[in-house]
Structure 1
C-alpha cells in the first residue's frame, strides 16, 4: 500500500481533470408533439410548412422531417422535424421554419414515415420543397412502406 501512496495525488488530479473537462456531446431526446385533431386548434408559431396527412391509422407514430439532401438523394442536414400521433382521420401538421437558411448545394425535401408498434407501415414519398418560405402543402397521401 505504501508504494502506491506517492501516485495517489497524481491519480486524484487526473480524476478531477477528467470531471472538469467539457462533457461529451449529449443530445436531449426530442419532445413528441401532441396529435392535433382539428386544424383550427393547431398551435401555429411563425412561418412553416403546413398541410395534412391522409391515411394515418389511429395510434400510429408519425415522423416528418425537412432534410437537405445531396445530388444522390442522401440526407446531409436535418432542418426541422415534427412528431405526431395518428387519430384515424386526416392529420394536420405544422413544421416551423423560423431562422432556417437554405444549405448550399443541397436540395430540400420533406420526408415522412409512419410506424405502429415499432414497425414501419407507411411512408410519405419525398416531396421537393422549392424554397424555405411559409407555405401550405395541402393534403399529402401516405403510401405503403416498402
Structure 2
C-alpha cells in the first residue's frame, strides 16, 4: 500500500485540528473609564471633551446598565451618538460620569440622554429620555430608572 492515503489522512486530521475553536481564555483587560471602581481617581478631561455627571436609582444588583448621549430629530429618532457608558448595577445609587465630544447641532435636532438596564439579557428598566440643554459639562443629579414596557 502506498503512503499517499496516509499522508492525505494525516493532512486532513491536521487541518481539522487547526480549525477547531480555541478554549475560552480571555485575558483580563484594564477597565475602561466607564467601568472603574467607585474609589478610583477620575482621569482629567481631554481637550474639547465634556462630561455629564449624576447618579441612577433603581439599578438592581447584577444588572447591566447602558447610558447613551444621542442626537435625535424632532420625532425622537436617533441620528448620532455623542458618547455611551456601560455600568454594572449594585442595588444602590449608581454614580456615572459620561464623557463626550460636543458637536454643532443643526436646527431640528436635540441631545438626549437615554438609558436601559438589563438582567440576564432581558430588558428590565429604562431611563425616560432626558433632553440635555447645551453641550457643556453638566451635573444632572439623581435620575430614576423606571420599569420597561
TM-score for both structures, normalised by structure 1:
0.71
Cα offsets for 1:1-46 (capped at 9, x unmatched): xxxxxxxxxxxxxxxxxxxxxxxxxxxxxx68326445xx462532
Query: Which ranges of 4 or more aligned residues in structure 1 deviate by more than 6 Å?
Result: none
1:87 counterpart residue number = 90
Say whether the 8 Å CA contact 1:111–1:125 is kept in structure 2.
Answer: yes
Any unmatched runs of 5+ in structure 2? 1-31
Cα offsets for 1:102-126 (capped at 9, x unmatched): 3313110000000000000000000
Say whether the 8 Å CA contact 1:35–1:86 is kept in structure 2.
Answer: no
Alignment of 1:35-46 (within 5 A): 36-37=37-38, 41=40, 43-46=42-45
2:35 counterpart residue number = 34
Say whether the 8 Å CA contact 1:61–1:114 is kept in structure 2.
Answer: yes
Please tell me the root mean square deviation across aligned C-alpha atoms, in Å.
1.8
- Tell whether 2:75 aligns with 1:72: yes
2:27 counterpart residue number = none
- Tell whether 2:112 aligns with 1:109: yes
> C-alpha distance in 1, partners of 2:104/2:37?
28
> C-alpha distance in 2, partners of 1:89/1:73?
30
2:15 counterpart residue number = none
> C-alpha distance in 2, partners of 1:107/1:52?
22
The 1:59/1:37 distance shift into structure 2, 3 A limit, reads farther
> C-alpha distance in 2, partners of 1:92/1:103?
28
Residue 96 (structure 1) aligned to one of 84, 96, 99: 99
The 1:69/1:51 distance shift into structure 2, 3 A limit, reads same
> C-alpha distance in 1, partners of 2:59/2:36?
11
Number of residue pairs aligned between Structure 1 and Structure 2:
113
Any unmatched runs of 5+ in structure 1? 1-30
The 1:35/1:57 distance shift into structure 2, 3 A limit, reads farther
